[in-house]
Structure 1
């Protein structure tokens, strides 16, 4: 019959097309570049200066309870600061939930230098009442220039 017709066999191609992966990577890069400045925003606080030991590099990101110059409270959990001011009860409730899930997570207070000492102590007492075993205080290093 068809003896002159021979079927050619194709050899499998062992190449990976990486163009779609590069496209996805570039889109993700653009998304991260756009969202990074939004994530790093926080509450503007003028920290007092002092020589203090930083948190260990291997520790979890701290929960930061902030008091701004107007005496309003904010909470920053892992780089996601609250945009609306919170009451002391709301701060205590949120921190208690976080500490219940992650008891080893550090908690620090970031208080503006213009805030009365009483407000900082009140926040620290509230945090300890919420179950935080120890509360740290954030400071700026003395050699850092004020903005």
Structure 2
């Protein structure tokens, strides 16, 4: 009993369904768009204005020097410069700032040194509870700015 001599053959589709992939990508995009503004740097730095002048201070500042090879030196007011490691620096500066809360701490980084060393010192000072931190720089000698100032 043959019903018909023909058999129906269906052609197979060999396409990839991309709709689920697009859904996943849109969800990831939304997640990144929501979480990116929430990310914050650990060290907040207020950069000086171009025409900033040095301020007269009532007290001598604490100076932390970061050498090109990464060595750290601490100069407390009325004391000699001493070589320290990061942990000792954090301890000494933290103790000094607790007894003298209105003192400024200045970080002097070597211009040929690694930027990461200065950033690490800023993070260590923040952990030590220092709130008044500045960066030291030498004024440019003999060069004019774009508006004609020297």
Q: TM-score of the superposition, structure 1-length normalised?
A: 0.58
Tell me, in whole angstroms, the C-alpha distance in 2 between the residues paired with 1:82 and 1:76. 4
Q: Which aligned pairs between 1:105-124 and structure 2 lie closer than 5 A?
A: 105-124=103-122
Root mean square deviation of aligned Cα: 2.0
Question: What SS does the corresponding residue of 2:92 show, helix, strand or coil?
Answer: helix
Per the alignment, residue 148 of structure 2 pairs with: none
Per the alignment, residue 80 of structure 2 pairs with: 81
Contact 1:61 1:78 in 2 (8 A): yes
Tell me, in whole angstroms, the C-alpha distance in 2 between the residues paired with 1:143 and 1:117. 23
- Is 1:63 aligned to 2:50, yes or no? no
Structure with max Cα Rg: 2
Question: What SS does the corresponding residue of 1:80 show, helix, strand or coil?
Answer: coil
The number of aligned residues is: 94
Gaps of 5+ in 2: 1-49, 143-150
Question: What SS does the corresponding residue of 1:64 show, helix, strand or coil?
Answer: strand
Higher relative contact order (CA 8 A, sep 6+): 1
Tell me, in whole angstroms, the C-alpha distance in 1 between the residues paired with 2:71 and 2:80. 13
Contact 2:103 2:132 in 1 (8 A): no
**1:35-90 Cα shifts (integer Å, max 9, x gaps):** xxxxxxxxxxxxxxx86421324x2100000011221000001152334x211110
Tell me, in whole angstroms, the C-alpha distance in 1 between the residues paired with 2:120 and 2:94. 16
Q: Deviation at 1:115?
A: 1.1
Stretches (4+) displaced over 3 A: none
Per the alignment, residue 138 of structure 2 pairs with: 140
Per the alignment, residue 96 of structure 2 pairs with: 98
